């Protein structure tokens, strides 16, 4: 197997600038993950325009965003353990055994141990990514407009499982994203659509504007709204290192969960919340002979943490090799590539090995940095949980406005972002998730353009969509992926709900 | 008393300054506006001007390059026409693509008379390309095959319908005696995507610009069948015949130049024209231009203004024929 791209990637990731960028990303990511209010997607949305305006090259920006993403998976455990409030979706299961441990005065041990299992999960996940990416990329040459269109169908099929509990709202959100993507110049007819004679809208809604509006602005509004909801932080951390006996006890659970996490991450549409639930229930079934799970069992703590970090790495596989985002966060990262005029897709590894390699290599480097950050500095991160909202909310808003204005130098974009933020806030109050909107937006444009280009080539013959082997395989995968994750998450849910 | 004196002096200074400014002095804060993201053709045009003017000492302070993306220059055009119409510090990059969009009414409410066209400092030329393993070696063979089987010929370009690449495709269709409205045009994002589509065999013909295609031609990935220029291009493409040589009267020059605001004074306008003319006579300019893959093209002042108006008028007819 040809791993040249990875060695080339290490050369990219280990330059001074990229090491610094990775370190900053890891630090911010851990903070973002630890704060229950904001998750990895908010962190990425806020930092993307700033990185772009600072003139960071594409690979450095991707390293920064990836470091934030992975850092957030580490950071999420802190609030799960100390607050019993998961810092992000992937850390929900961490609270099951982490919080009981903290209540027993073993918070420091829980943080150290979960930091270690996060590291193992992240490293194994990165290894999987490094081996998988070139395999899938070999398919690249055969992709024409028809194949891309079916690929997008496949990507949309995976959406059904993303917010499986609310299929209708997911579909509506997705449709909204698709509709927003139609604004602007229509390449196939040359006509302006829904621009209302505003030249600012002639290229459509800018991705950064949409992402910051939907995630950051609406998040700030939600935090303001939830003012005064009390939370108690556990401040007695106790012993700050993990016991050797506990580490040995967790080894099996950590490795099994890393594998589960990676595989689930590769399946687009199933994120860290699913993988941590599956790994937790798997471990419970395998090893819970004394009924200690849920009462502070170290294995119940290690399993979901290893899994959610491995999932974060696995999610890069479809993103880097096919240009299909596996989660809302990777969708934002795909948008970031497009911002740099880099078309994500099967050709990415061939055309930009420095970006793919640099990103994969930076995951290895980042995990080492994160381990180093998270073991000794965990007390500092724990203190972040007490940041008052009067500081947090204006901070988010200032970063949003500065970010959007600096990358577009247009007041129109700032107002558009505010409007989208208000709309996003209303949608969230109505129980909508924002991720399907972003996915619909990102994938919608690619899907429309490729369908129409495919039909332009065939002269309107629909058969072109079924004409190649790649197309047919993708249609079959789309059908499979609609059914499989729903089945998996139902199994996971049934088991978590079983009385202990 | 002294206060009155001060005021008088100050007033005189203001008048002096206004007089000096109207006499067309060097702009204090020269700025070049690129109506797109960094890295595109407008950016390239601005950077060529900024580097060449500074190196040939036409300006003493470096010229700032600013960006305002949207509608392939539409946002910048509206901005200059409505808000910076008097700003003599500012030049804005344009190309024959701008004239094509103006001809289609895609620059909002403004037409080609909303700004003062300054001049063009270089040009690129359209090319028609096929994959390296394509059976067609000349434009004539390609046109014959197209005529015989028009339904089989998808043409890819790196721009939307209405863009320059699309116009080149429709000129080819017309040359093959086809109705350009029936052309199977595949709108891709940029020249890189055209290359991939040709290599993957998804389309038969690609249209693009010489500067971006020449390296792929030399690398043997594609074959340039014809340059759409009045005469053969110098340098790496000297071996590639023009479309005219092969019996097809289809030219597509892509000039790159600038406009200034409508209300910029004649004196300031002339200062810019003279500065560019002087800079372009130097060998430094030729080096900078060649480094950016542009060919020699020099047209200024009234001549350039007439050229832009003629282009817009011609593109209106072409676009209508092609079904816009």
Among B305, B316, B301, B129, residue whose Cα is nearest residue B217: B129
Q: Which of residues 267-306 of B touch A (CB under 8 A)?
A: none
Estimate to the nearest angstrom the gap between the alpha carbon of B65 and the chain centroid: 17
Burial of A126 (0-12, 13-18, 19+ CB in 10 A): buried
Per-residue burial over A265-277, b if 16 or more Cβ lie within 10 Å, else e, is bbbbbbbbbbbbb
A357-371, A376-390, B194-208, B258-272: range with lowest mean pLDDT: A376-390
Q: What's the mean pLDDT in A350-356? A: 85
Domains of chain B, CATH where assigned? 2-123+253-321 (3.40.190.150), 125-237 (3.40.190.10)
With a CB cutoff of 8 Å and minimum separation 6, the contacts of A171 are: A436
Tell me whether B192 touches chain A (CB under 8 Å): yes
Q: What's the mean pLDDT in A220-247? A: 75
B192 contact residues in A (CB cutoff 8 A): 343, 351
For B237-275, write each residue's pLDDT tens digit. Answer: 999 999 999 999 999 999 999 999 999 999 999 999 999
For A61-88, write each residue's pLDDT tens digit. Answer: 999 999 999 998 888 888 888 877 777 7
Say how many CB pairs under 8 Å bridge A and B. 80
Interatomic CA distance for residues B298 and A217, integer angstroms: 50
3-class state of residue A187 by DSSP: coil
For B156-212, write each residue's pLDDT tens digit. Answer: 998 899 999 999 999 999 999 998 888 999 998 777 778 878 888 889 999 999 988
| Cα torsion through A96, A100, A105, A110, rounded to 10 | -20
Contact call for residues A138 and A348 (beta carbons, < 8 A): no
Rounded (5°) CA angle B46-B50-B56 = 140
Contact yes or no for A457 and B199 at CB 8 A = no
B107 contact residues in A (CB cutoff 8 A): 199
Tell me whether B64 touches chain A (CB under 8 Å): no
Q: What's the mean pLDDT in A18-26? A: 93
Estimate to the nearest angstrom the gap between the alpha carbon of A409 and the chain centroid: 28
Per-residue burial over B212-242, b if 16 or more Cβ lie within 10 Å, else e, is bbbebbeeebbbbbbbbbeeebeeebeebeb
Per domain, the residue ranges of chain A are 4-497
With a CB cutoff of 8 Å and minimum separation 6, the contacts of B38 are: B67
Interatomic CA distance for residues A328 and A173, integer angstroms: 13
Handedness of CA A149, A152, A157, A160 (dihedral sign): negative
Mean pLDDT computed over every residue of chain B? 88
User: Which residue in chain A is spatially nearest to B72 when comparing CA positions?
Assistant: A203
Q: How far is B30 from chain A (nearest CA, A)?
A: 19
Going from the C-alpha of A121 to that of each of A308, A309, A400, A473, the distances in angstroms are 8, 5, 32, 31
pLDDT at A154 over 90: no
A189 contact residues in B (CB cutoff 8 A): 161
The continuous run of DSSP H or E covering B122 comes out as: strand B115-131
């Amino acid at each position: 197997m040809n791993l040249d791209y990875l060695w080339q990637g290490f050369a990219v990731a280990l330059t001074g600038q990229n090491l610094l960028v990775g370190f900053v990303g890891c630090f911010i990511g851990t903070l973002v993950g630890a704060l229950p209010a904001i998750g990895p997607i908010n962190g990425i949305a806020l930092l993307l325009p700033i990185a772009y305006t600072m003139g960071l090259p594409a690979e450095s920006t991707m390293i920064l965003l990836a470091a934030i993403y992975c850092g957030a998976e580490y950071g999420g455990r802190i609030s799960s353990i100390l607050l019993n409030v998961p810092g992000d979706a992937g850390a929900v299961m961490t609270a099951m055994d982490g919080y009981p441990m903290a209540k027993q005065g073993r918070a420091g041990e829980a943080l150290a141990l979960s930091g270690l299992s996060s590291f193992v999960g992240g490293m194994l996940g990165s290894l999987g990514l490094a081996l998988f990416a070139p395999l899938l990329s070999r398919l690249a040459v055969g992709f024409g407009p028809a194949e891309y269109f079916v690929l997008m169908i496949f990507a949309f099929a995976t959406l059904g499982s993303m917010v499986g509990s609310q299929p209708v709202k997911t579909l509506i959100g997705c449709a909204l994203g698709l509709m927003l993507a139609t604004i602007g110049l229509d390449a196939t007819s040359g006509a302006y659509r829904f621009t209302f004679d505003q030249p600012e809208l002639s290229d459509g809604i800018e991705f950064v504007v949409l992402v910051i509006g939907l995630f950051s602005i609406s998040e700030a509004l939600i935090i303001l709204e939830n003012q005064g909801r009390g939370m108690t932080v556990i401040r007695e951390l106790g012993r700050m290192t993990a016991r050797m006996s506990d580490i040995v006890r967790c080894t099996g659970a950590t490795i099994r969960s890393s594998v589960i996490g990676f595989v689930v991450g590769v399946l687009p549409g199933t994120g860290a919340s699913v993988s941590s639930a599956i790994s937790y229930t798997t471990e419970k079934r395998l090893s819970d002979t004394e009924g200690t799970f849920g009462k502070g069992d170290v294995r119940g703590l290690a399993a979901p943490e290893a899994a959610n970090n491995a999932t974060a790495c696995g999610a890069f596989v479809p993103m880097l090799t096919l240009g299909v985002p596996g989660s809302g966060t990777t969708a934002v990262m795909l948008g970031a590539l497009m911002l740099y005029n880099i078309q994500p897709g099967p050709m990415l590894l061939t055309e930009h090995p420095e970006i793919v390699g640099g990103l994969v290599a930076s995951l290895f480097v980042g995990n080492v940095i994160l381990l180093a950050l998270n073991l000794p500095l965990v007390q500092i991160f724990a203190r972040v949980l007490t940041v008052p909202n009067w500081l947090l909310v204006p901070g988010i808003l200032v970063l949003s406005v500065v970010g959007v204005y600096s990358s577009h130098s247009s007041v129109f974009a700032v107002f558009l972002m505010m409007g989208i933020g208000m709309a996003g806030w209303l949608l969230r109050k109505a129980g909508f998730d924002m991720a399907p909107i972003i996915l619909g937006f990102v994938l919608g444009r690619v899907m429309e353009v490729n369908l129409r280009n495919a039909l332009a080539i065939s002269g309107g013959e629909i058969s072109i969509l079924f004409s190649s082997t790649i197309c047919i395989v993708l249609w079959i995968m789309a059908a499979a992926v609609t059914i499989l994750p729903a089945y998996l998450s139902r199994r996971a849910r049934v088991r978590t709900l079983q009385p202990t | 008393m002294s206060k009155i004196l001060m005021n008088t002096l100050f007033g005189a200074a203001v008048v002096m300054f206004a007089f000096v400014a109207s006499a067309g002095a060097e702009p204090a804060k020269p700025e070049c506006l690129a109506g797109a993201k960094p890295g595109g053709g407008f950016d390239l045009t601005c950077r060529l001007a900024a580097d060449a003017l500074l190196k040939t000492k036409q300006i003493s302070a470096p010229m700032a390059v600013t960006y305002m993306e949207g509608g392939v220059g539409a946002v910048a055009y509206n901005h200059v026409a409505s808000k910076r119409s008097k700003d003599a510090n500012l030049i804005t990059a344009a190309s024959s693509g701008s004239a094509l969009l103006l001809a289609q009414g895609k620059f909002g409410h403004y037409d080609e008379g909303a700004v003062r066209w300054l001049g063009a400092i270089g040009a690129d030329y359209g090319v028609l390309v096929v994959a390296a393993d394509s059976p067609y070696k000349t434009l004539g063979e390609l046109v014959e095959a197209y005529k015989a089987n028009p339904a089989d010929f998808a043409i890819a370009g790196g721009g939307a319908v209405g863009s320059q690449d699309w116009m080149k495709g429709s000129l080819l269709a017309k040359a093959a005696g086809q109705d350009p409205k029936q052309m199977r045009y595949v709108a891709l994002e940029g020249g890189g995507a055209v290359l991939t589509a040709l290599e993957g065999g998804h389309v038969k013909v690609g249209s693009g610009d010489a500067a971006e295609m020449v390296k792929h031609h030399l690398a043997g990935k594609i074959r340039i069948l014809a340059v759409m220029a009045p005469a053969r291009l110098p340098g790496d493409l000297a071996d590639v015949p023009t479309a005219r040589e092969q019996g097809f009267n289809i030219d597509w020059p892509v000039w790159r130049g600038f406009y200034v605001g409508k209300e910029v004074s004649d004196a300031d306008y002339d200062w810019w024209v003279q500065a560019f003319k002087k800079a372009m006579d130097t060998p430094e300019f030729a080096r900078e231009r060649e480094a950016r893959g542009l060919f020699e093209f020099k047209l200024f002042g009234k001549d350039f203004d007439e050229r832009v108006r003629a282009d817009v008028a011609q593109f209106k007819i072409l676009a209508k024929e092609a079904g816009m």
